């Protein structure tokens, strides 16, 4: 019996299947940190994979329905393109109507439905602790089906990534999970959605790793592959087992073709740089278009699409059949050029105006056309080259998106998985890697991270376990810092320290900054003591007492690099200066900031937040039950504390009652609140400071 109980205990520990871990019923967050529950998360990931497979099938058929209604006026779920429509000039209005509907959904539903899906999923990971609203899981596929079904030049992959990610996140919110566990579930749903839509289980896992997780560990890889495998199994039942793009047998001639593949990689790389720059410009143009309501922006982009589609219908829709024609060399050179110019133009215009759709299919089409056209041009210029346009189309198919998205491994594999042409492996690698090298050199941000960077969020392109290597100095530095003026005396500054000035007492050193904001030096408490020993009157100037030859940090440096400077120079703090103006101080970083950033990382890994089931299981009152909430202090008095959480709109805050005054916590600090709901409101039982605003 003891052995049986031991085996059962071990099995439950592996799965995380006990009431406390299921509902997150830890009575106090001060207990031992929660460990990642691989077995339990794998079960939830499997559920997310099945759901994503079903949602992919529904989205695919919904796109078919809207396409048939909009272009053929028939009620049918059969997926087909819009090229054969007979609407004449009226076809221009079809995308406009779709754009208006998307604008309305974005305004009255959720603005998160705008865009191509992957950046929005990344934003949820980086900003919202991997929490996605339930309405996004419903509105995103509907808006995407409307946009693509009314001619939008997109694929279904971006929307299904965001939708699958939303369902994964919702599963993680249903039960009690840590932020790290919820991130894995979000990534599992997103990757499974892509896997189900394109029959690409490996691509789905790689996309989750390269663009959402930024880690390669068993704790994430195992749930990812389980989710993707089940999503593809659902696809086999609902869709059947078909390759997305059927291609013929091509002569890749690798040995003789290496120089040409290299040139094609450079061409795709610079095309990606140009595409990303144009998209950024168009997005900023629409962002600054204040006189026209944002609800109309997608319709404006759709008007350009409608006009282009009237003259060249192949720009409508995802164009899966057109991609097949490009890969199988069924199109004339002039048609390839029209695809290059017009498809790129309408994709840029539609994306920049804020409509809803994915980028994989259109960029595969454009990139494949680049490869095919390149081979045709080379054959014309170099008669003895004998390049196969189909081979170069396959080789280039994933290169544009590899470089634009900075996810080389993902879309290299995607090009192989979607064509099942394993003879193309080496040419695909060559073209994609060279294109990515060009993008790394000339593109500071990818099309997936550009919007996040403009909003001020630090995004990274490498997976790194050390939290200090993931964060920039700008993420953790203090901005509102107590300073000393160059004219202050040692006595004046020492008196301020002795008076218990809270803002000053947090620091062992103060930067010396003049009236124009220029950094003149730094003075430590040790410097003040030595100066007072030398001159007890304290009339010495603080600039003379302190150090003027400074070691500094820069906002765009990694926290790890700043810590290295501290260790190498045996100091505990660094002024942060503008890289272009080394005398302009923009912040301050010390050991407390570094520890605060690490505490935030540990919080994501180990603090299990209550799920919806936990709340339901304890009833509406929650009386006597310890609950937790994490956020930033908006305001604090001796009697209450107001907390701004990531999920709340700016300006809104939760109010908690303080039975006793709290010392040392100020507005801006990130805290973990443990509280009970009582008759007069939420009463704080414990406050844990996660990071300090200085």
Please write the tens of the pLDDT for every residue from 312-357.
999 988 888 888 889 998 989 999 999 999 999 999 998 888 887 7
Contact yes or no for 673/30 (Cβ under 8 A): no
Helix or strand run (H / E) with residue 207: helix 201-207
Same-domain pairing of 478 and 585: yes
With bands split at pLDDT 50, 70 and 90, how would you rate the model's confidence at 1?
very low
CB atoms within 10 A of CB 274: 12
My answer on whether 560 and 627 are in the same domain is: no
Q: Report the pLDDT value the prediction gives residue 620, as an integer from 0 to 100.
A: 42
Residue 262 pLDDT more than 90? yes
pLDDT, tens only, 514-564:
877 788 888 877 777 787 777 777 778 777 777 777 788 888 888 888 888
Query: pLDDT tier at 582 (50, 70, 90 boundaries)?
Result: confident
Q: pLDDT value at position 612?
A: 62
| Long-range contacts from 431-434, C-beta under 8 angstroms, 24+ separation | 431/261, 431/264, 431/265, 431/268, 431/371, 431/395, 431/396, 431/399, 432/265, 432/398, 432/399, 432/402, 432/403, 432/408, 433/265, 433/408, 434/261, 434/262, 434/265, 434/266, 434/268, 434/269
pLDDT, residue 430, reads 95
Are 175 and 197 a contacting pair, CB within 8 Å? no
Residue 319 in contact with residue 362, Cβ under 8 Å? yes
- Whether residues 229 and 284 fall in one domain: no
Place 507 in a pLDDT band, splitting at 50, 70 and 90.
Answer: low
The predicted pLDDT at position 288 comes to 83
Let me know whether 106 and 230 are in one domain: yes
Task: Give the model's pLDDT for residue 4.
Answer: 45
Half-sphere exposure of 467 toward its Cβ, with a 13 Å CA cutoff?
A: 15
- What ranges make up the beta strands (E) of 339-486? none
Domain that holds residue 134: 38-238
Q: Is residue 520 part of a domain?
A: yes
Number of domains in the chain: 4
Q: What is the pLDDT of residue 602?
A: 62
What confidence score (pLDDT) does residue 189 get?
92
Q: What's the CA gap between 473 and 436, in Å, rounded?
A: 27
Average pLDDT taken over every residue of the chain: 81
The answer to whether residue 7 is domain-embedded is no
More confident residue, 120 or 79: 79
Q: Does residue 28 belong to any structural domain of this protein?
A: no
Specify the pLDDT at position 202. Answer: 92
Place of tokens 């894995």: 184
CB 235 within 8 A of CB 191: no
Are both 143 and 176 inside the same structural domain? yes
Radius of gyration of the chain (CA): 29
Instruction: Answer with the residue of higher pLDDT: 648 or 278.
Output: 278
Task: State whether 223 and 165 are in the same domain.
Answer: yes
For residue 511, give both structure tokens.
């930067």
Residue pair 95/151 in contact (Cβ under 8 Å)? The answer is yes
Its sign, for the CA torsion 658, 663, 669, 671, is negative
The verdict on residue 562 lying in a domain is yes
Task: Give the pLDDT confidence score for residue 23 in this predicted structure.
Answer: 45
Lookup result for tokens 């934003």: 123
Residues 321 and 443 in one domain: yes
CB neighbours of residue 253 within 10 Å: 16
Cα 109 to the chain's mean position, in Å?
A: 21
Give the pLDDT score at 653.
80
- DSSP category for residue 210: I
Ranked by mean pLDDT, the top range of 9-18, 317-326, 459-468, 625-634 is: 317-326
Instruction: Look at residue 25 and tell me if it is in a domain.
Output: no
Q: Are residues 174 and 51 in the same domain?
A: yes
Who's near 689: CB < 8 A, 6+ residues apart? 664, 665, 669, 670, 671
Would you state the pLDDT for residue 227? 94
Is residue 623 predicted with pLDDT exceeding 60? no
Residue with tokens 């144009």, as numbered in its chain:
278
Residue 585 lies in a domain: yes
Domain end call among 409, 424, 454? 454
pLDDT given at position 585: 82
Domain boundary among 424, 454, 484: 454
Alpha helices in 209-352 (DSSP H): 218-238, 254-287, 297-311, 320-327, 333-338, 344-352
Q: What is the model's pLDDT at position 427?
A: 93
Predicted pLDDT at 2: 47
Q: Which of 277, 261, 246, 255 is nearest to 396 (CA)?
A: 261
Q: Is the pLDDT of residue 458 over 80?
A: no
Per-residue pLDDT, 122: 78
pLDDT digits (tens, 9 = 90+) for 21-62: 444 444 333 344 567 888 889 999 999 999 999 999 999 899
Q: Out of 147-161, 183-197, 390-404, which region has the weakest mean confidence (pLDDT)? A: 147-161
Per-residue pLDDT of 214-254, as tens digits, reads 778 888 899 999 999 999 999 999 887 777 788 888 888 88
- Quickly state the pLDDT bin for 634 (edges 50, 70, 90): confident
Beta bridge partners of 475: none
What average pLDDT does range 367-374 have in this prediction?
93
- Condensed to tens digits (0 to 9), the pLDDT of residues 666-689 reads 777 777 787 877 777 788 877 776
Q: What are phi and psi of 422, to 5 degrees?
A: -80, -10
Q: Which CATH number covers residue 405?
A: 1.10.3080.10
Taking residues 364-373, report their average pLDDT.
93
Q: What is the CATH number of the domain that holds 588?
A: 3.10.580.10
CATH number of the domain where residue 641 is located: 2.40.50.320
Helix (H, G, I), strand (E, B) or coil at 457: coil
Write the CA distances from 123 to 101, 127, 132, 280, integer angstroms.
Answer: 24, 6, 10, 17
In a shared domain, residues 381 and 511: no
CA 66 to each of CA 69, 73, 442, 539, 685: distance values in angstroms, whole numbers, following the listed order: 5, 9, 40, 81, 54
pLDDT of residue 454: 73
Q: Residue 187 falls within a domain, yes or no?
A: yes
* Res 136: pLDDT: 83
Tell me the mean pLDDT in the region 258-279: 93
- Lowest model confidence (mean pLDDT) among 307-321, 364-378, 442-456: 442-456
Whole-angstrom distance, CA of residue 393 vs CA of residue 250? 10
* In a shared domain, residues 394 and 473: no
| 375 plus 402 within the same structural domain | yes
Q: What is the pLDDT of residue 21?
A: 46
- Say which residues have a Cβ less than 8 Å from residue 619's Cβ, sequence separation at least 6: none
- Closest-CA residue to 232 (of 207, 205, 204, 195): 195
Per the model's pLDDT, the better-predicted residue between 513 and 649 turns out to be 513
Q: State both tokens at 72.
A: 């053929």
459 or 360: which leads in pLDDT: 360
Mean pLDDT of 593-608: 65
Confidence (pLDDT) at 6: 47
From 21, 55, 28, select the one nearest 176 (Cα to Cα): 21
- Whether 117 and 81 map to the same domain: the answer is yes
Residue 601 domain-assigned?
A: no
Choice among 227-236, 408-417, 430-439, 525-534 with the minimum mean pLDDT: 525-534
Q: Is 130 helix (H, G, I), strand (E, B) or coil?
A: coil
Which band of pLDDT confidence, cut at 50, 70 and 90, is reported for residue 428? very high
- The stretch 192-218 carries a mean pLDDT of 88
Residue range 260-289: average pLDDT?
91
**CB 461, CB 294: distance < 8 Å:** no
């Amino acid at each position: 019996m003891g052995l049986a109980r031991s085996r059962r205990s071990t099995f439950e520990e592996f799965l995380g299947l006990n009431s406390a871990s299921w509902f997150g019923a830890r009575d106090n967050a001060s207990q031992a940190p929660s460990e990642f529950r691989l077995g339990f998360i794998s079960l939830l990931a499997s559920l997310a994979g099945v759901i994503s497979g079903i949602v992919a099938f529904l989205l695919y058929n919904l796109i078919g329905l809207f396409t048939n209604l909009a272009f053929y006026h028939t009620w049918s779920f059969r997926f087909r393109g819009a090229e054969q429509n007979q609407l004449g000039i009226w076809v221009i209005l079809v995308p406009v109507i779709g754009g208006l509907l998307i604008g309305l959904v974005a305004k009255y539903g959720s603005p998160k439905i705008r865009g191509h899906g992957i950046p929005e999923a990344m934003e949820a990971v980086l900003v919202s602790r991997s929490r996605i609203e339930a309405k996004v899981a419903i509105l995103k596929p509907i808006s995407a089906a409307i946009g693509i079904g009314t001619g939008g030049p997109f694929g279904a992959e971006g929307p299904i990534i965001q939708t699958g990610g939303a369902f994964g996140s919702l599963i993680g919110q249903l039960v009690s999970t840590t932020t790290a566990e919820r991130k894995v579930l979000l990534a599992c749903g997103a990757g499974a959605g892509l896997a189900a839509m394109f029959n690409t289980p490996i691509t789905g896992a790689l996309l989750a790793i390269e663009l959402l997780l930024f880690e390669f560990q068993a704790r994430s890889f195992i749930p990812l592959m389980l989710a993707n495998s089940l999503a593809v199994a659902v696809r086999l039942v609902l869709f059947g087992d078909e390759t997305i793009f059927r291609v013929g047998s091509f002569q890749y001639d690798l040995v003789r073709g290496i120089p040409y593949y290299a040139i094609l990689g450079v061409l795709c790389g610079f095309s990606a740089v140009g595409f990303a720059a144009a998209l950024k410009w168009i997005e900023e143009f629409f962002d600054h278009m204040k006189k026209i309501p944002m609800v109309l922006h997608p319709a404006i982009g759709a008007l350009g699409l409608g006009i282009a589609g009237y003259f060249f219908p192949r720009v409508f829709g995802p164009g899966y059949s057109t991609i097949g024609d490009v890969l199988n060399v069924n199109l004339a050179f002039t048609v390839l050029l029209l695809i290059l110019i017009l498809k790129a133009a309408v994709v840029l215009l539609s994306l920049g105006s804020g409509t809803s759709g994915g980028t994989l299919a259109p960029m595969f089409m454009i990139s494949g056309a680049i490869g095919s056209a390149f081979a045709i041009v080379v054959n014309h210029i170099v008669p003895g080259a004998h390049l196969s346009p189909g081979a170069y189309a396959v080789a280039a198919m994933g290169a544009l998106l590899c470089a634009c998205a900075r996810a080389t491994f993902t879309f290299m594999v995607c090009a192989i998985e979607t064509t099942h042409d394993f003879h193309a492996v080496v040419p695909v690698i060559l073209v994609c890697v060279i294109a990515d090298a060009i993008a790394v050199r000339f593109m500071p941000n990818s099309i997936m991270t550009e919007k996040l960077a403009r909003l001020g969020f630090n995004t990274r392109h490498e997976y790194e376990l050390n939290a200090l290597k993931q964060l920039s100095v700008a993420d953790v530095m203090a901005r509102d810092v107590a300073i000393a003026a160059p004219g202050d005396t040692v006595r004046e500054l020492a008196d301020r320290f002795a008076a218990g000035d809270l803002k000053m007492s947090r620091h062992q050193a103060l930067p010396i900054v003049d009236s124009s904001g220029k950094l003149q030096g730094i003075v430590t408490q040790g410097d003040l003591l030595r100066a007072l020993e030398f001159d007890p009157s304290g009339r010495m100037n603080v600039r003379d007492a302190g150090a003027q030859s400074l070691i500094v940090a820069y906002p765009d440096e990694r926290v790890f690099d700043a810590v290295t400077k501290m260790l190498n120079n045996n100091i505990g703090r660094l002024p942060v200066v503008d890289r272009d103006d080394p005398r302009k101080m923009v912040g301050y970083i010390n050991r407390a900031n570094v520890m605060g950033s690490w505490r935030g990382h540990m919080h994501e890994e180990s603090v299990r937040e209550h799920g919806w089931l936990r709340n339901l299981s304890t009833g509406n009152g929650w009386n006597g039950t310890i609950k937790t909430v994490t956020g930033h202090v908006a305001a604090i008095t001796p009697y209450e504390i107001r907390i701004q959480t990531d999920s709340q709109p700016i300006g809104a805050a939760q109010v908690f009652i303080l039975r006793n005054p709290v010392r040392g916590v100020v507005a801006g600090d990130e805290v973990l609140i443990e509280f009970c709901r009582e008759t007069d409101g939420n009463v704080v039982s414990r406050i844990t400071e996660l990071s300090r605003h200085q």
